[in-house]
Chain A
């Protein structure tokens, strides 16, 4: 895996690059390719930060499970 690919994968993994931009940089890779390359590079899937979205996520939970929401 070349340095440019690893650089792009690392940026995606830490949430600094969108999946669409990464796929373009990888020459039109599918999301499945992205998943495979992340695995090969031992990088985790990006995790959207929860901070600042707590109310939104709680509202989504209430919509999904109205009787059980806190």
Chain B
């Protein structure tokens, strides 16, 4: 699915915000390859009881042709360590994996360009962007406002409002028990190796 623009989702914020607003499909309203580092997907979904987790897994499965789950050494090492420390948690796991993916030398080839979608600016501070002319960082709201300006969606602010409202009530997933092992298997199955 090679295109000349890639959308890197480099932290969990955009996924959870859009999932909470039932708006994940907006990421597919642009003709780009969507790239999600494996550890970012893990952080967003490791506990099925968390807001948006079930929706994100189902969305990724439904759109495998347009979404690449990028394998990282960061997540591979973390996953291996969990064999002996089952409840291991690393708060900056997704951030480190995102940095690894963005800095891969072959990630942007030829004339390819990248949009980094994130809520967490710390990710970008850690990245040594080799060619700033080819990479632009956008917040979720930036992305939605561009869709609104292009009349692809009605209102960016409405999406944020929906996300905020979703946080006020338990998501339907919160009625479920955590399915850490199932989610782990799902991520392994989704990673493109």
Instruction: Tell me whether A and B are bound partners.
Output: yes
Which residues does A use to contact B, with CB under 8 Å?
Answer: 18-21, 23-24, 28, 30-33, 35-40, 44-48, 50, 56-57, 59-61, 63-65, 68
A-B contact count (CB 8 A): 105
How distant is the Cα of A48 from the Cα of B150 in the complex, in angstroms?
20
Which residues of the other chain, A, contact B11 by a CB distance below 8 angstroms?
19, 31
How distant is the Cα of A67 from the Cα of B179 in the complex, in angstroms?
44
Which residues of the other chain, B, contact A56 by a CB distance below 8 angstroms?
136
B52 an interface residue at 8 Å Cβ cutoff?
yes
Q: A28 contacts B142, CB within 8 Å?
A: no
A39: contacting residue among B30, B120, B167, CB under 8 A: B167
- Other than the given A21-B122, A30-B51, 11 more pairs (CB < 8 A) read A23-B91, A30-B50, A35-B166, A36-B51, A39-B167, A45-B160, A47-B141, A50-B142, A56-B136, A60-B115, A68-B150
One digit per residue, 1 when the CB lies within 8 angstroms of any chain A CB and 0 when it does not, for chain B 38-50 equals 0000011001001
Which residues of the other chain, B, contact A59 by a CB distance below 8 angstroms?
136
B51: nearest chain-A partner, CB-CB = A32
A35: contacting residue among B16, B115, B122, CB under 8 A: B16
**A–B pairs, 27, beta carbons within 8 Å:** A18-B120, A19-B13, A20-B95, A28-B89, A28-B91, A30-B12, A30-B47, A30-B51, A31-B12, A31-B119, A32-B16, A32-B20, A32-B44, A32-B53, A33-B50, A36-B51, A39-B166, A44-B160, A45-B17, A45-B141, A45-B164, A47-B141, A56-B136, A57-B138, A61-B149, A64-B30, A65-B30
Interface size range on B against A: 35 or more
- Given contacts A45-B160, A59-B136, A64-B115, are A32 and B50 in contact (CB under 8 A)? yes
Which residues of the other chain, A, contact B24 by a CB distance below 8 angstroms?
none
A interface majority secondary structure: helix
How distant is the Cα of A39 from the Cα of B164 in the complex, in angstroms?
5
Which residues of the other chain, A, contact B164 by a CB distance below 8 angstroms?
35, 38-39, 44-45
How distant is the Cα of A30 from the Cα of B115 in the complex, in angstroms?
24
B121 an interface residue at 8 Å Cβ cutoff?
yes
Shortest CB-to-CB span from B187 to chain A, Å, is: 16
Which residues of the other chain, B, contact A60 by a CB distance below 8 angstroms?
115, 136, 138, 142, 146
Which residues of the other chain, B, contact A68 by a CB distance below 8 angstroms?
150
How distant is the Cα of A48 from the Cα of B119 in the complex, in angstroms?
9
Q: B5 contacts A64, CB within 8 Å?
A: yes
How distant is the Cα of A32 from the Cα of B17 in the complex, in angstroms?
8
- Given contacts A32-B53, A35-B164, A45-B17, are A20 and B122 in contact (CB under 8 A)? yes
